[in-house]
Structure 1
Amino acid sequence: MQITQEDLIKIVEQASTIPERLGREFLSNQISVDDNAINARIERWCQTIADGNEAQFEKRLAWDGLDLDKIRHVLGSVRLVDRQNLPTWAETLRTLLESITPDSADAFEKDFLDKKYPLDSQQSLPFEELFLSFIDVARQRLTTQSGENYFLLSSESHATLERSLLKSLTSLCSQALGENFLVFRLYQKSSLIRLIGQLEGSHSTKHYRNFIRNMLAGELLDFFLEYPVLARLVATVTNFWVNNLCEFLQRLAADWLKIQTTFQSNAELGQVVAIQPGLSDSHCNGRSVIKITFASGLKLIYKPKALGLEEAYFRLVAWLNENGIPLQLKVLKLINCSNYGWVEYVEHSPCTDQLAVKRYYQRAGMLLCLLYALSGTDFHQENIIACGEQPVPIDLEMLMSAIARQEESGEATSALFMAFEQFTYSVLSTYLLPSWQLGQDGVAYDMSGFGGSGNQQTSYHRLVWQNINTDGMVLRREAVKTPSYSNIVTLNGVQISLSDYVEELVEGFEQMYQFLIDHKQTLMAENGLLVVLAHQQVRAIFRATQVYSSLLKETLQPKFLRNGVDRSIGLDVLSKSLLKHETKPNCWSIIAAEQKALSHLDIPIFSIHPYSQDLQIGTNQSIKNYFVDSSYDHVMARFEQLNQTDLAQQIGFIRSSLYTNFASDVAGSLASSRQPTLGDDAIAPVAREMLIEQAIAIAWELQERAICATDGSVTWIGMEYLPEAGRLQQKPMGYDFYDGVSGVALFLSALAQVTKNAENRHLVLGALQPLFKLLQLESVDKQRILKNIGIGGGKGLGSILYTLVRCSQFLGEPTLLDHAQSIASFITPELIGSDRKFDVVSGTAGTILGLLALHQATADVAILEQAVICGDHLLNHRITSDAGLQVWKTLNGKTLTGFSHGAAGIAYALLRLYKVTKNTDFLAAATDAIAYEQRVFCAIAQNWPDFRSEKPFFSASWCHGAPGIGLARLGGLAILDTDDIRQDIEIALQTTQISGMHEIDHLCCGNFGRMETLLVAAIQLKRPELAEIAQKQAAWAVTRAINTGSFQIFPNRFQGAYNPGFFQGTAGIGYELLRLAYPEQMPSVLLWQ
C-alpha cells in the first residue's frame, strides 16, 4: 500500500499537538483559514476547562503566555516547516502501510482460516486481521536490532509479545474502525437484507470479511488520512514495542550470569519459555514491568526503573529480622542496575493452617507500621501479595512520600485544615487499610492492600465488543468490577476476612511500633539504616493514576483522533482543577508535563530526590519548593515523633478503618445482634443524675479528642455515612447534623443548658466557627461549597438550619439564627428543583423540617415560602408504586419504607408542612405515602419490609423498620389521626419492645433510637409504662457502658474505634441521655422538633 510524501506530510501536520504547533516546526496556513472551525474549537476548549467561563479560559491561556489571538493561529490548518526530514514515527507509519502488498487482501483469506499469526480463536481481537502485516514489520525490526539476543526467548514467548502488540493496536483503533464498519454495513445492506441478516443471527462474517478486504486493498490509507492522530499513535506504539524489547533483551543478555549467580546458582537458567509483559502502567515511552520464566523454572520480574529504593528497603527489613522483631518479614532478592533491575518473583499462595493465618495478620500489622514509619503510600491491592503467611509489598516506589506545600491560604490555621493533615498523613495514608472509593453514582468499593478484593462493583464502565469480527459485531458499555489480585489471604480454598483478625493486626502494629521506638536512635544515627534511604529517588504522585487512565480512554474516541488540536483540547481538562486559583499556582508547569506523557499514551510519572524540596517533572525540569520538606527529612521527622500518644491515635485509626470496611449498613448487619437482658423486675429505671453524669463523660471525651486550632475553631475526625452505598467512611467531620460538627454542637449546647458549663459553650461555638467562616467567603465560592453540601435534613443545608435553631435556643445566642437565615438564602428554587433524593436524611423532606424549625423561631414568611416550594417539589416527583399508590423513589431509585429514606419520613414532613400552610395537597400526599406503607406491611413479621436489598428484610431501628415508622406516625398524630394510624403505632410499639436491646447503642440503628420511640409514645399517648421501659433500657445500657468503659457504637470486635457523630456516634447518645433525664425540656430531635 503506497503512501505519497504529500499524504504523509498531511498526516504529520494534522496529527500535531497544540504545543508542537506553538513551536518552530509548524507555521499557520494562512491560505486555508476556517474561522468557523477555529471558533468552534475555542468554544469547545473553553467549555472543557472552564465550563464556558471566558474569563477563566483567558486566564488559563495567560498563564502559558498566550492570548486568543496567538492561539487562533494554531487551531486551524498548519504547514510543516521541514517537509523532507519527517518525524521517526512518520517513517515507521510509511513502512507499516507499505508492508500491505497487493496480495494482502487475497492472503487475508488464508490467514483468516489458518491463523498463522499470534491469534487466538477463542479470544479474537477486533479487526485483528488489519494489523498482521504490522506485526511482521515489528518482528523483523526486533529480529534485526536485537541480533542473537532475540533467541534468548522461546518462539512461544515471542508469540506472546507479538500478541501484546496486536492487542495494543486493535485497542487503539477499534472504536474508529467500528464507526467505519457500521457505515460500511449500512451501505452494503438494503432494509430487507438487514432484516434477513437479523433473522440469520449475528455470526455471519460475509460483510466483515468484505470490509477487511477493502481496507487491505487501499482503504486503510484513507482511514489513517481521516484519523491522522490514530496513525501517529499506531506508529508510536510500534516503535516503543520494538525499542523497549530490544533494550530488555540487551539487558537480559548483559546480566545473564549475574542473574544465575544471584537467583539460581545451582542450575543453568535455560531459555526464557514464558513471558508476561505489561504488568504495570506504561511510563517513559511505553516501558512497563515484565515477568519472565526460564526453562529451569525460575521466575523473575524485570522493572525498567532504578531499584535503589527497594534495595534499601529490603536491607532495612533484613536488619529488623536480625535484631529481633517478633516475626520475620520476607526479604526479596534483587539486582539493582542503576536505571533498571531484576526482582525475585513472589508467588501468591495460601496459608497452611489457622495459626498461619493469625501470623499473616500479625505480620500485616508489622508491615503496616513499618510502611507508615517510612511514610509509604499507594499500597493498593495490586501492590501486596499474600505469599503463605507473608504479606509482601512488591512496588516500593512510593516510600518516603513528601508533603506538598499548600498554596497560600488562611485555612492553614483552622481546625479543619489540622484535621485533614492529621488524617491525611496518618496510617491510613499507606492505603493498606480499608477505604472506600466512591463513584458519582454512589457505588463504593475497596482497593486497599489488606481489604480490597475482586468482583466489587465500581463506578467505572468500559467498552466491550460483542460478536467480535462478525457482521453483527457491536460495541457495548458494561460496568467494571474490581479484578482479583494476589493480596487475598486464603485457607483451604476459602477467602479470609480481614475483619476477623482485628486484634492480630493491631498486635503486630503495636509490636513493630514499640520495636521502632526502642531502636529509634540506632536507626536514625549518622551511619544508621535510614541513611541509605537518603540517596534514593522516589516517586511523587500529583493526581490519581485512574484520572490519567480514564482520560486516555476518553481521548481515544474517534472525535479526538481526526486532529491533534482536538486531542490536545481533550487532554487539557487536566488544567481545570488549577483554575480555581486566582493567581498562577506554583505547580502550573506540571500540566504541560502531564499532557506530553499522555500524548504518547504514557501515564505521567514524577519524582523527588530525598534531599530536595523540588518536584522533578522532566529532564532538567523541576518545580521549585513544591514540598514542605524533603522526603528524607519527612521520614526522619516521622521517626522522631514516634511515641505512645501517636501509637494510640494510629491504633484508633486502624480500628475505625476496619469497622468501616465491615459495616455494610449497620441496621441490616446487626439484625441478629440482640443482647441478653435482665427481666423487667431485675433492673430499676436509671436515676437522672446517672444519665447526666454519663452525658458529661461523653462530652469530656469529645473535648479530649477535639482538634483545636489557634483561630478558635474546633473539629473532630469521625465517620461519614454514605447513604447510597450503605457504608461509613472515616474522615474529618463535615458541617451537617447526621455525622458532622452541627450534630456535636447540638449535643454540647443542650448539655451547656443543663450544666451551665462554659467549656461546652466554648466548644459549640468553636465547632460552628468554620461554618461561619464559610459564610464570609466570596459569593461564588460560598455558593459552590454550600451547593455541594446538599439540602437534606440529616445531611445538608436543612440539617444545619435545624441544629443552628436548636443551638441558638439552648445557648441563648440569637446570632445563630442570623447565620441560619443566611444559609437558608442559598436554598434556592433551582437547588430544590435539582434534588432527586426526596427523603428526610438527604433530600427535600428534610429541608422542609429544617425550614419549618427556622420559620417557627423567626416567623419569617419567606422561609415558609421556601418550605412550600420544597413541598411542591415532592408533589411533582411522585411515581406510582407496585402497590398502586403514589410515593417517591429515594435511595438508589427504590420506593422505600421507613423514616430516614422512606415514605414514613416524607409523609411526616408533609404533615408538618400541611399543619402550617393548610394546603390539602400536602395532606393528601402524606396520606398516600402512609397508605403505601400500610399496603406493604407484613402481618407475619409485624413489621414493614426494608426494600434496600434485592431480597427485602425486616429492620427494627429508627432509620428503617417499626421503631422509625411508629415514631413518624406519632409525630404526625396531632395532624392526622385515624384508626389505621393508631393501629400502625400499636404494632410499631409492640415490635419495638419485642426487639429488646441490641449490641449497638447509637440513635440511627441502635438501642437509644428505639428508646426515643417509646419515650415519645409515653408522652404523646400518656402511657407512663412505656417511659418506664425506656428508662429501664437506658439503665441497662448505662450499666453496660460503666462495666465496659464506653457505650457501644461498634460491634465488640471493633472496640477502640471512635465516632463522635450524632446519629451513629457518641454525640447522639449523649443527647438522648439528656432527653431521658429531661423529656419535657429536651425536644425530640429525631422528629426535628
Structure 2
Amino acid sequence: MNKLNENEAINYWQSVLGVANSDITKKHLERFFNITIAKMVQSVNEERKLISKREETSKDKFINNEEYDFFEKEFKYLNDSLENLLEKYNFILDKLSMRISLLKQFEKMTDSEFSHFIIDEARLFYEDEKNGTNVISTSEDPLSYFVKKRFHTKGYRLECETYYPHFFELINENINRFLSYIKEVLDNVSFDFNEIKDVYFKKYNNIILEDISLGDGDRHKKGKSVAALKFSKGKIFYKPRNGDLDVAFFRLLSKLSRFNLNYEFRDLVILNRRDHSYFEEVPYVQTKNNAEFREYYEKLGCLLGILYTLNGTDFHNENIIACGNNPMLIDLESLFHSNIFINENIYDKGFYDLLKQSDPSVIDIGILPKKIVKNFNNEDISLEIGGIGGEEVKASPFKYSKLNIQNSEIIHSRDFGLNQVNQNNPVSKFSDKDYEIINECLKKGFILFYQTVLQNREEYLSTIEKLFGNLEIRVILRPTYIYSKLLSLSKNIYIIGSEANRDVLFSKLAYERWDQLDFVKSEYNQLKQNDIPFFVSNTSSLDISDYENNYLGKLSDSTPLNNALNKIKKMTSDDLTNQVSLIDQAINLKRYKDVSTGIEFAKKEKDLNLQSMLSTAEGIGEMIVNRAVECSEDTITWVSTVLQGKEEVEFGIGPVGNDLYLGNAGISLYLTYLYKKTNNKAFYVAVQKANNYNIEFLKQEKLYEHGNVGYYNGSSGIIISLAVSNLHIPIPNFNDVVTVSLERMRRLFDECQSFDILTGTAGLISSMLCLEKLYPGKYTNQVKELLLLSYNHLFRNAVIDGDIAYWKTSNTKAYTGYAHGNAGIISALSRLAEVEEELFGFKLVDRNFASKILTYIDNNFDKQQGLWETIPGTNRYSKGWCHGPQGQLIAQTNVKLGLPELSKNDEFFKDIIEKIKNVGFGNNSTICHGDLGSLKAIEYYAKKMKDKKLLLDCKEVFGSIYNDVLSVNWKGNIISNTESLGLMLGVAGWGYEILQHIDYDEMFDFFDV
C-alpha cells in the first residue's frame, strides 16, 4: 500500500464528513481528536504499513480456493462458549436446542450487519470479467455464487484478515457482547425464576426455559435489546431496563374510573426489577363484531388523550397490539418525550421550533396515520408507520443492499424491501366505512378524556405528579436513523479497513456542536462500540447522563414532568378543537382518495356576490388564526396538511414550515391582504407574529449552509412575503432585515446545489426581480449582484449536450416542468431578459443557452399524450401547475415577453390552453395541483397578452369554482377532506384568490415572477 500524504488524507476525510472544504475538515478533526492532522496521517500510514507487511507474506495464498467456513474460528468460539454457559442453568432442559437457536440468531445478526460489506466485496469479485461471465451464464444468484465460490474459501479468509483486521475485531466484540447479554438474561431469570413462575405460570408445576430470541430492534448498552423468553408453558418478554414507566401508566389506567370514564382497560402483567423487567406476551386477537370494533377505537382515542397529556411519542404500529376490544401499548419508553435535540440543523426552523418550544400535538404521538416518504430513482416510496394502518403488504422506504444482473453487468444496487402489516389493527382489512367509524370513535374517546381532564384538572395533575415523579426515562438526542446510517456506513469496505476512517466518520456528529461536546463524545464512544447511543434522564430532573450514569449536562430549563404538567394546565376547549381537527384530518387522508371537484372550464357563472366572497375570505382567515400554534409570545406557525415526496403525490399532517408554498410566508401574505380589506385587528396581530417567526428563521446562520434560496420553497420567497407585508403592516427594522438577509444569501453560492424555481437559483432570480419591482432603487446594488451570481450559477452548472441544456444533481434528475425543472428556469431567465439592459446596460442572458433549455423541454413533449414527460424515460405526466401544462404556459408566456426571438407561435398557445381546459380542471381546487392553478395559469397568459375575452371567461369560471367549491368546502374539505392551510396547497390560497377576484389591482400576484 502506498504512503498517503496529508492532502490525500484530508481530501478523503472531507468526502467522509461531507463538509465544504479541506480547511474546515482539518480544523474539525484537529479540534475533535486534539491531535494534528500530521499525527492522524502518520497513524494511518502505520496502519497501511502493517497491512503491506501482511500482504507481502500472504498474498500468494489469497488464490487458495479450498473450501473453508469463513466464520469457523469465531463461531466455534461462540459455540463452545455457549455450551459452557448454558450448562450452568438447570431450568434449561434442552441445552443443545437453545444453543443451536442462539447460534442461528447470531449468524443472522451478522449477515444483516455486514451485508453491505459482503456485497461490496462480491462486486469487487465480479470486476474480474471471468467471474461475472460464469455467474451470468449459469443464471445463478450473484451473491450466492460469490459466497459459494469465493467467500467460504481459505484464500478469501486470509485476504480479509490482511486488509480488514477491524472487521474481525468487530465480529469478536459482537460475540463477547452477545455472550455477556445472554448470561445477564439467564442470571436474572435464574434469580427471578420463582417469581416468574408465580406471576406468569402459577397453574403449572414444571416450567423450563426452551429458548431466548433477541429482538430485531436497536441495540443499546453494549448490544442489549428486548428478548423473548419461550418457556414450556408460554412466552414472556425480558427488557434490559426497569418497567417503572409502564407500571405507572397501567396504574393510571386503573385509576381512570374515579374520573367517571366508562372504559375498562386491560392490564399488562409486569414483573419489575431495578434494572430489568418482564412483560407478558399480549395475544393478537381480532374484534368479533361491530360493537367490539367501536369500543377498541374509543379506547384508543382515550389512550391518545392520555398520551397527549404525557407528551408521548413514537407509538407507531409496532408498539400497539390489538387484543380484542383492547388496544395494548407494549412499549412506554417514550413517554415524557423531552423536546431536546442536539442536531436541530437537520430541521427547518419551523419544524425545530415546533419540537423545541411547542407542546407535541396528537400527530406527534405516532398513533394516527402517518407516512414517511423517500424518493428513489425519481419515484416516491411511502410507508405507513402510524399506529392506525390498514395497508396490505407495502414497499418500505428503507433500502437494503443486493446484487443484480443488469444489462449483462453485475451491480450493487440499493432496493426497497416489503413491510408486512403489524398486529396493530383489530381487523384484517379496512373499508372506507371502517375509517368513518374509526374517525368517529377516536374523536369520541379523545373528547371524552380531554373534557374529563378539564373538569377534574387539579385531581388529574395530582395523580400524574404522584405516579410519574422521579422515574428514569430515555432521552432521544437525535433521530436514531442517523446513528443507524453511520453504523452502516462504518462497515463498508472503504471505512472498515481503517480505524482512523471509522473515527473520522463518527466524528461527523460533532460538526458545529462544540458547545455540546460532552454529549457528542458519548455518542461517538457508543458508536465506536457498535451501539445506537442511549441517554437517560429523570422525569423530575434536568440532568442527562449516558447509560452508565456518567453525568453529561443539561439541555433544557424545564423537567420532563413539568413540561407535561404545564401542558395539562394549558389545556383548553380551543386546543381540544384543534387537536380533534388534526385527528379528523389524519384519518380523512386515509379515507378519502377521490378529490374530484366536478369543475369544467366550460362551466361558467357570471354572478359573483362580492359580500359573500368577502365573508368567506374572512371566515377562512378566522379559521387560520384559530389554528395557529404559538411558539413564543410573539411568534406563531401552523400544523396542517403538507405535501410529502419529490413527486408531490403523498400527503401528511405536519408543521407547515416557513416558505411561500405551504408555510408561514404564504399564510402571512394572505392575512396581510385580508387585514387590509377588513381592518380586523386579529389578522394584523397574526401577520406580525407570523412575520416575526420568519424573521427569526432568516437570522439562522445554518440556514445559509444548504443553499435553499428559491422562491416558493426557499429563503428568498420569505423575503418577498415580508416585503409585500411591510407595505401594508410595517415591520420594525425592515430595511435591516432585508439588507442582512441579502448579505447572508450572498454567501450561499458555494453550497447551493439547487437550480429550480422552488428552491434554487432560478427562484432567487425571480425573487430579486420581484424585490426590485416592489422597492425600486432601494436594494438595487444587492439585487444586481445576486442576479449576476444566480445567472452564472445556472450557466456554470448546466449540463450542455449538443443542442440541449438541463440541470442534474445526485438526488434530482432533470425535470422538464415549472416547479423543479427547465420550464421554471427558462421562465426566470426570460423575466431577467426583460429588464437586463435597464439593470445592467447589456444583454446578460445568452440566447443560445436559452434556446438549448427550451429544446430540452420540446424534446420531452409527448404528442400522443399532449403533455410533457416530467422526467425523460419515466412515462410519467402531470396535469398540474408544478409539472404539467399550466407551468409550461406560464414559462412560454414569459419567453414571449422576454425572449421573443425564441417564442412559440400562436398555435402552440392555443393548443396548450385547450389542453389545460381539458385536463386541468376537476381534479381538486388547490393552486398547485388543481382548478385554481389551472385558472391562474390561463389568467396569467390572458393578462399578459391583453386577451379580454379569455380573461372574462376566466372570471366566469372562477364564479363556478367559488359557488360550487370554495364557498362550500372551505371549512375542512380542501385536500382529501382536510384543513390544508397553505397558499399553494390550501385554504390560504383559496382566500387569496377570492380577494384577488374582488379587487385584482390591489393584490400582489405571486405568479407574476
TM tier, smaller = 0.7 to 0.9
SS of aligned partner of 1:539: strand
- Aligned pairs for 1:239-254 (under 5 A) are 239-254=176-191
Q: CA deviation at 1:332?
A: 1.8
Q: CA deviation at 1:403?
A: 4.5
The answer on 1:373 being equivalent to 2:301 is no
Which of 166, 170, 183 is 1:233 aligned to? Answer: 170
- Aligned pairs for 1:382-461 (under 5 A) are 382-404=318-340, 419-421=354-356, 423=358, 425-437=360-372, 445-451=383-389, 460-461=398-399
Measure the CA separation in 2 of the matches of 1:643 and 1:809. Answer: 36
Residue by residue over 1:64-104, the C-alpha shift from the partner in whole angstroms, topping out at 9 and shown as x without a partner, is 8x55499879958999xxxxxxxxxxxxxxxxxxxxxxxxx
CA RMSD of aligned residues (A): 5.1
* 2:1008 aligned partner: 1087
Q: CA deviation at 1:718?
A: 4.7
* 2:269 aligned partner: 333
**Number of equivalent positions:** 968
The answer on 1:938 being equivalent to 2:865 is yes
- The answer as to whether partners of 2:226 and 2:238 remain within 8 angstroms in 1 is yes
Measure the CA separation in 2 of the matches of 1:952 and 1:184. Answer: 37
Letter of the 1:158 counterpart = R
Q: CA deviation at 1:259?
A: 3.3
Measure the CA separation in 1 of the matches of 2:940 and 2:787. Answer: 25
The answer on 1:1064 being equivalent to 2:985 is yes
Name which of structure 1's ranges 548-557 and 764-773 shifts more when overlaid on structure 2: 764-773
The answer on 1:597 being equivalent to 2:526 is yes
The answer on 1:695 being equivalent to 2:620 is no
How does the TM-score come out when normalised to structure 2? 0.80
* 1:158 aligned partner: 99
The answer on 1:743 being equivalent to 2:666 is yes
Measure the CA separation in 1 of the matches of 2:222 and 2:182. Answer: 12
Measure the CA separation in 2 of the matches of 1:157 and 1:225. Answer: 34
- The answer as to whether partners of 2:3 and 2:45 remain within 8 angstroms in 1 is no
The answer on 1:635 being equivalent to 2:564 is yes
* 1:148 aligned partner: 90
Q: CA deviation at 1:246?
A: 3.2
- Aligned pairs for 1:254-273 (under 5 A) are 254-268=191-205, 270-273=207-210
* 2:229 aligned partner: 292
- Aligned pairs for 1:749-898 (under 5 A) are 749-751=672-674, 754=677, 764=687, 766-772=689-695, 782=701, 784-788=702-706, 790-800=708-718, 802-804=720-722, 806-807=724-725, 820=738, 823-824=741-742, 831=749, 834-838=752-756, 840-856=757-773, 857-858=775-776, 860=780, 863=783, 867=787, 870=790
SS of aligned partner of 2:367: coil
* 2:219 aligned partner: 282
Measure the CA separation in 2 of the matches of 1:426 and 1:207. Answer: 50
The answer on 1:133 being equivalent to 2:76 is yes
Which of 651, 658, 672 is 2:596 aligned to? Answer: 672
- The answer as to whether partners of 2:543 and 2:553 remain within 8 angstroms in 1 is yes
* 1:686 aligned partner: 608
Structure 1, unaligned runs of 5 or more: 1-33, 80-104, 113-125, 664-668
- The answer as to whether partners of 1:131 and 1:169 remain within 8 angstroms in 2 is no
Q: CA deviation at 1:237?
A: 2.5
Using a 3 Å threshold, how does the CA distance of structure 1 residues 335 and 169 change in structure 2: closer, same or farther?
A: same
Using a 3 Å threshold, how does the CA distance of structure 1 residues 711 and 406 change in structure 2: closer, same or farther?
A: farther
Q: CA deviation at 1:240?
A: 2.8
The answer on 1:1075 being equivalent to 2:996 is yes
Using a 3 Å threshold, how does the CA distance of structure 1 residues 627 and 702 change in structure 2: closer, same or farther?
A: same
Letter of the 2:154 counterpart = M
Letter of the 2:215 counterpart = G
Letter of the 1:742 counterpart = A
Q: CA deviation at 1:462?
A: 3.5
Name which of structure 1's ranges 591-600 and 197-206 shifts more when overlaid on structure 2: 197-206
Name which of structure 1's ranges 988-997 and 501-510 shifts more when overlaid on structure 2: 988-997
Structure 2, unaligned runs of 5 or more: 48-63, 837-842
Measure the CA separation in 1 of the matches of 2:674 and 2:693. Answer: 21
Letter of the 1:159 counterpart = I
Using a 3 Å threshold, how does the CA distance of structure 1 residues 871 and 674 change in structure 2: closer, same or farther?
A: farther
Which of 416, 420, 424 is 1:484 aligned to? Answer: 420
Using a 3 Å threshold, how does the CA distance of structure 1 residues 301 and 211 change in structure 2: closer, same or farther?
A: same
- The answer as to whether partners of 1:403 and 1:628 remain within 8 angstroms in 2 is no
* 2:283 aligned partner: 347
Letter of the 2:486 counterpart = L
Measure the CA separation in 2 of the matches of 1:773 and 1:493. Answer: 46
* Percent of aligned pairs sharing the same letter: 19
The answer on 1:615 being equivalent to 2:536 is no
* 1:463 aligned partner: 401
Letter of the 1:148 counterpart = N
Measure the CA separation in 2 of the matches of 1:577 and 1:72. Answer: 21
- The answer as to whether partners of 1:447 and 1:453 remain within 8 angstroms in 2 is no
Measure the CA separation in 2 of the matches of 1:165 and 1:231. Answer: 15
Name which of structure 1's ranges 397-406 and 298-307 shifts more when overlaid on structure 2: 397-406
Letter of the 1:139 counterpart = L
Residue by residue over 1:486-515, the C-alpha shift from the partner in whole angstroms, topping out at 9 and shown as x without a partner, is 255264556989965433322222122223
- The answer as to whether partners of 2:596 and 2:923 remain within 8 angstroms in 1 is no
SS of aligned partner of 1:385: strand
SS of aligned partner of 2:545: strand
- Aligned pairs for 1:922-1071 (under 5 A) are 924-925=851-852, 928=855, 931-932=858-859, 936=863, 938=865, 952=876, 955=879, 957-961=880-884, 963-966=886-889, 968-969=891-892, 976=900, 981-987=905-911, 989=913, 998=922, 1000-1013=924-937, 1015-1016=939-940, 1019=943, 1020-1024=945-949, 1027=952, 1030-1031=955-956, 1033-1034=958-959, 1037=962, 1046=971, 1048-1052=973-977, 1054=978, 1057-1059=979-981, 1061-1071=982-992
* 2:831 aligned partner: 912
Q: CA deviation at 1:430?
A: 1.9
Letter of the 2:995 counterpart = L
Letter of the 1:852 counterpart = L
- The answer as to whether partners of 1:288 and 1:303 remain within 8 angstroms in 2 is yes
Letter of the 2:703 counterpart = I
- The answer as to whether partners of 1:800 and 1:820 remain within 8 angstroms in 2 is no
Using a 3 Å threshold, how does the CA distance of structure 1 residues 693 and 182 change in structure 2: closer, same or farther?
A: closer
Measure the CA separation in 2 of the matches of 1:209 and 1:1015. Answer: 67
Measure the CA separation in 2 of the matches of 1:1062 and 1:522. Answer: 43
How does the TM-score come out when normalised to structure 1? 0.75
- The answer as to whether partners of 2:6 and 2:37 remain within 8 angstroms in 1 is no
Using a 3 Å threshold, how does the CA distance of structure 1 residues 1032 and 194 change in structure 2: closer, same or farther?
A: closer
Measure the CA separation in 1 of the matches of 2:298 and 2:810. Answer: 39
Measure the CA separation in 1 of the matches of 2:123 and 2:638. Answer: 57
Q: CA deviation at 1:647?
A: 1.7
* 1:556 aligned partner: 491
Measure the CA separation in 2 of the matches of 1:854 and 1:165. Answer: 62
Which of 490, 504, 514 is 2:441 aligned to? Answer: 504
Residue by residue over 1:832-872, the C-alpha shift from the partner in whole angstroms, topping out at 9 and shown as x without a partner, is 9954553x333444333323323445364774575466557
